[in-house]
Amino acid sequence: MADSNDQGGVASAADVTFRTEGLTRVYRTGETQVKALDGVDVVLLTGQLTVLLGPSGSGKSTLLNILGGLDHASAGRVWFRDTELTRLSDRALTRYRRDHVGFVFQFYNLVPSLTARENVRLVTDIAADPMSAEEALERVGLLARMDHFPGQLSGGEQQRVAIARAIAKRPGVLLCDEPTGALDSKTGVQVLEVLDQINRETGTTTAVITHNAMIRRMAHRVLHFSDGRLVREEVNDHRLAPHEIDW
């Protein structure tokens, strides 16, 4: 049975959170030039969990960084809802990132001298309409550990704190670059369960980069990249919860 959130085929403008047109990113280092993205046309649909797959160096992180306002396109255009990101000043792009984007990276980037709750408060203190740090930690199942320091938490727990920090400002989008890359498979599944649950409960448009092709089973849509190009798209009519996937 198709999930109610599934949207195959043509999407209306209201359903589209990100759209790119001819997105190209060239990195120049001295004499060498690398085309990390080579004319990518892609949409990310509102409320969906999209998985980005592809070999190392295929451009997945570059795409995520440009969507999140951390990097600039060399050519082509990118829209977030009605706003063309590729026309924003650096200052406006920073505001966009602060107001709308939650990031989760492979390494958790927590401040070691602050507790879980204090790490989340770094974000809630400057956000316009945040949830409380306690609510964010409850959503990732770590309320009982909120006064623990990162060094007192396992890798999977630290990643869940990083997810709490990312969602506490109620971002429109959650961009995750290899969120389970540093975790063993059992702990990785717990982290994916948290991402899946947040997507279902809050409707946050979510993108997850991974090397693990099995993760595609939990996605609404899967985008396959190769050599800086989008080479294939899949719509998943039969999503599985992470714990149902045969790892």
Q: Could you tell me how far CA 246 lies from the centroid of its own chain?
A: 23
Beta-ladder partners of 207: 50, 175
Pick 46 or 103: Cβ nearer ligand ATP: 103
CB of 154 to ligand ATP, least distance (A): 24
For 34, the 3-state DSSP assignment is strand
Residue of the chain from 2, 8, 27, 107 that contacts ligand ATP (CB under 6 A) = 27
Instruction: State which residue, 5 or 86, has the beta carbon closest to ligand ATP.
Output: 86
Nearest-approach distance from CB 122 to ligand ATP, in angstroms: 26
Considering the complex, what minimum distance in angstroms separates the CB of residue 1 from ligand ATP? Answer: 33
Count Cα atoms within 13 angstroms, Cβ side, for 90. Answer: 1
CB closer to ligand ATP out of 34 and 126: 34
For ligand ATP, give the closer residue by CB, 54 or 179. 54
> From CA 210, how far away is CA 87, in angstroms rounded?
29
Smallest gap from residue 46 Cβ to ligand ATP (A): 24
Place of tokens 């089973």: 217
- Find the DSSP H helices in the chain: 60-67, 90-100, 116-124, 133-139, 155-167, 185-202
Q: Estimate the share of the chain in helix, then strand, then coil, as percent rounded to the nearest 5.
A: 35, 30, 35
Q: What number of other Cβ atoms are within 10 A of residue 232's Cβ?
A: 12
Site residues (CB under 6 A) for ligand ATP, limited to 33-92: 34, 36, 54, 56-62
Nearest 5°: CA angle at 120, between 115 and 121? 95
Dist. CA 173–CA 104, nearest whole Å: 11
Binding-site member from 29, 90, 144, 238 for ligand ATP (CB under 6 A):
29
Q: How many CB atoms lie within 10 A of CB 106?
A: 17
Site residues for ligand ATP, 137-196, by CB under 6 A, read none
Instruction: Name the one range near ligand ATP by CB under 6 A: 29-37, 82-90, 127-135, 159-167.
Output: 29-37
Least CB distance to ligand ATP at residue 171 (A): 21
Minimum separation from the CB atom of position 57 to ligand ATP (A): 4
Q: What is the rounded distance in angstroms from the CA atom of residue 216 to the CA atom of residue 225?
A: 13
Determine, following the binding rule CB under 6 A, whether residue 20 of this chain makes contact with ligand ATP: no
- The verdict on 231 binding ligand ATP (CB under 6 A) reads no
Tokens of 30: 């001295």
Whose Cβ is closer to ligand ATP: residue 63's or residue 164's?
63
Residue 1 DSSP one-character state? -
**115 belongs to the binding site for ligand ATP (CB under 6 A):** no
Contact positions vs ligand ATP (CB under 6 A): 27, 29, 34, 36, 54, 56-62
